[in-house]
Structure 1
Amino acid sequence: MMLIQILRQTVVRFLRPDARNSLAIALMLSGHDRWPRPIDAWPERKVLVISPHADDEAIGCGGTILKHVAQGAEVTVLQLTDGRNGCKRLQDPTLPADERAALVAWVRQTREAEARAWAAGAGVQAVEFLGIPDSEVDASTHAVAGLRAVLERFQPDLIYVPAITDLLEDHWRANLLLDAALNATPGPWQQRLLLRSYEVWSPVPANRTVDISAEFPRKLALLKLYKSQLADVDYCRAIEGLNTYRSTLLARTGQGYAEAFLEASLPGWRAILAGRN
């Protein structure tokens, strides 16, 4: 264990933050491999899903959210950013300024409308928006205050958040924002809190799986509500591949569809965050 700590401290100075996160997790998982356990009980009554961009919740844990809703849980989806960069045309440096401004406004409005449509279709109780500019998720005073207000009001039993190992910067930085907001929101409800890290752009080192075979057709149909995003990327094909691959972790190995998570208590999740530094 001491050797692993020395190695982590040595190499961390020379790595980009995103690579650093992935290596830190790999070094922490130094024990024997353990097969992910299936989640087959749904006792949580209050579930908060943190989605950096409108569609992350649908991709990473859409089938599991449907299970929570079916079990009568109160589910709130918190969209962190305004999604203003979610269009490939905006990457064109020759795009005139007036067209760019109009397109950004259209993307922001469309992403919010699609997120609301997804939430209504999934049957979640609420969807909220922090309005952080896309690609600028961090633990700023404004962002922490916004997330803190949601935590104080809702006091969830379970939080879903993208994995700290995810490639997209807004995704792993969502963990740093959540940590700051939790520190600013002390209370006895945190003693029962569980966190599940979900995967979007990078597979998570999973210790939990959910069989979403029955929910998958509906998950896919709901994902198609994000038409503006599917115009640029075929997320439906990608997520069918990921959830098919994750079915290898089910008892019916390689059959059906599954979502995978890294589950931890609040102290365990914070230990993972601390390991990235």
Structure 2
Amino acid sequence: MTSTTCFCIVKVAEDRGSGLAGAHMWERVLAVGAHPDDIEFGCGGALLRHAAAGASVTLLVMSDGARGGDPVVRAGEQARVGQLLGAKVVLLGLPDTHLGQPHELISLIETEISASAPDLVYTHLPEDMHQDHVQTHQAVRVAARNVANVLLFESPHSPMLNTGIGVNISSVIQQKTELLAAHASQVSERRVLTARSVRSRADRHGTALGCDYAEMFYPLRFTLAFERVE
């Protein structure tokens, strides 16, 4: 990945004395993850901030997550996250680690993009050791080709970003840990999803950005819009 300047968009909006003025640039947000819990890990804090700013949020989950547990349980956990976020949840239920052919995935994602008309899309980084994450990134990259803003998030299987687009999630860090705690079947087995680990990662990004807690994203495409603040 090519390095880019590191800055904190949401914190800038706050500093201008207009609440989340900058966040209102995005009214419809779509997050695409390969498995239940991927989205919350990668961009849960940012989604909480989008929702608080009045944006409509859609979570598109590609696989049933069956390799990590009972798919019925995991679907229920993802539905609970949707309730906590006030978000629409779309579960495609594709076989875990066998998502399908690229053209089929692209078509499925295009259908949701057409339905939700997002002005901002979040999805996986391409540099990831899980094949489903890589395949999801590749499909979104094509399906979202006409979306002006596409940000890529970390996973436990990807490198940790040192530069990129930063979002101050200090005000919602507790809520982010609660989103991940909703995936109880996973937190009990995966230490990286525990509140302590989530806070530790966010603390590291926050240190780089000059705030308590943050998330970092790599911009596939990003449009910096300037709004008049009255």
Q: TM-score, normalised by structure 1?
A: 0.70
Q: Which segment is superposed worse, 204-213 or 54-63?
A: 204-213
Distance 1:176 1:266, change over 3 A: farther
Aligned-residue offset at 1:266: 7.4
SS of residue matched to 1:85: helix
The answer on 1:36 being equivalent to 2:18 is: no
- Are 1:181 and 2:143 matched, yes or no? yes
Task: Tell whether 2:223 aligns with 1:264.
Answer: no
Does the 8 A contact of 1:205 with 1:262 survive in 2?
Answer: no
Aligned residues between the structures: 207
1:122-133 alignment runs, 5 A limit: 122-124=85-87, 126-133=88-95
Query: 2: distance between equivalents of 1:134 and 1:222?
Result: 21
Distance in 1 (alpha carbons) for counterparts of 2:71 and 2:198: 24
1:164-207: CA deviation from partner (whole Å, max 9, x where unpaired):
11222211221111134346xxxxxx2x6201101112213531
2:51 is aligned with 1:69: yes
Which of 1 and 2 has greater Rg?
Answer: 1
What SS does the corresponding residue of 1:215 show, helix, strand or coil?
helix
Residue 53 of structure 1 corresponds to 35
SS of match in other structure, 1:214: helix
Q: CA deviation at 1:38?
A: 0.7
SS for the counterpart of 1:204 is coil
Q: Using the alignment, how far apart are the partners of 1:39 and 1:54 within structure 2? A: 27
User: Are 2:119 and 1:157 equivalent residues in the alignment?
Assistant: yes
Q: Does structure 1 retain, via aligned residues, the 8 Å contact 2:151–2:222?
A: no
**Cα distance in 2 for residues equivalent to 1:239 and 1:205:** 16
More helix by share: 1
Aligned runs of 1:132-147 on 2, under 5 Å?
A: 132-137=94-99, 139-147=101-109
Distance in 2, Cα, partners of 1:246 & 1:83 = 28
The equivalent residue for 1:247 is 206
Code of the residue aligned with 2:150 in structure 1: it is L
- The one of 223, 228, 233 aligned to 2:185: 228
Q: Which runs of 5+ in 2 are unaligned?
A: 11-21, 224-230
8 Å CA contact 1:53, 1:79 repeated in 2? yes
8 Å CA contact retained: 2:102, 2:135: no
Q: 2:172 aligns with which of 215, 218, 221?
A: 215
State the Cα deviation string for residues 124-168 of structure 1 (Å, max 9, x = none).
2x1001121111235434322221211112221000001111222
User: Counterpart of 1:243 in structure 2: which amino acid?
Assistant: A
Structure 1 runs (4+) greater than 6 angstroms displaced: none
Are the counterparts in 2 of residues 210 and 260 from structure 1 also a CA contact under 8 Å?
yes
**What is the TM-score normalised by the length of structure 2?**
0.83
2: CA distance, partners of 1:266 / 1:133: 32
Task: Point out where structure 1 has 5 or more consecutive residues left out of the alignment.
Answer: 1-24, 88-106, 184-189, 268-277
